[in-house]
């Protein structure tokens, strides 16, 4: 899945492997993406997630350097984009679009044609990306969660 992007950058989109864990965490830190290194985002948990058939994790790689990633899952009827990050120097080059398209294509290959994402209200850059790609913002839905280890 190699193609030339704007500015003649060769980017390969491929499935994430556990060796990509440290570069992924570095991307999240650079992008101020909250993560839980002692919980769901620990190396142990990511390793387990990579083995699950409903976890579709991809990275964008340029000459051996991870420059973007998408982490998504599905429940058998709907896909969920959980994390999308592109390193700052590679933004506006179509990489996010390619990662999202790869995720959507993988879902379509198993008959899933609904894709959703959750975006924090402060993350306007992500909102703009998804809007440009045809996603609809829903203001009539409230998100509830229950976390076993939540500290109050």
Cβ-count burial 117-136 (b if 16+ within 10 Å, e if not): bebeeeeeebbebbeeeebe
Domain count for the chain, please give it.
Answer: 1
pLDDT tens-digit readout, 52-82: 999 999 999 999 999 999 999 999 999 999 9
Instruction: With respect to residue 21, please indicate whether it lies within any of the assigned structural domains.
Output: yes
Quote the CA–CA distance of 84 and 59 in Å, as a whole number: 10
Whichever domain contains 24, its CATH number is 3.40.630.30
Q: What is the pTM of this model?
A: 0.89
Task: Provide the residue range defining the domain that includes 18.
Answer: 2-132
pLDDT by residue (tens digit) across 23-43? 999 999 999 888 899 999 999
């Amino acid at each position: 899945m190699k193609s030339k992007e704007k500015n003649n950058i060769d980017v390969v989109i491929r499935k994430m492997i556990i060796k990509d864990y440290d570069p992924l965490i570095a991307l999240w830190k650079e992008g101020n993406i909250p993560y839980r290194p002692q919980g769901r985002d620990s190396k142990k948990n990511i390793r387990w997630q990579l083995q699950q058939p409903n976890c579709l994790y991809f990275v964008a790689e340029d000459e051996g350097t991870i420059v973007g990633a998408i982490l998504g899952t599905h429940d058998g009827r709907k896909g969920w984009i959980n994390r999308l990050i592109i390193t700052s120097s590679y933004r506006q080059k179509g990489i996010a679009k390619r990662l999202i398209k790869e995720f959507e294509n993988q879902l379509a290959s198993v008959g899933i044609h609904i894709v959703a994402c959750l975006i924090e209200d402060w993350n306007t850059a992500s909102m703009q990306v998804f809007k440009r790609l045809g996603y609809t913002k829903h203001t009539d839905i409230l998100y509830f969660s229950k976390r076993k280890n939540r500290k109050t």
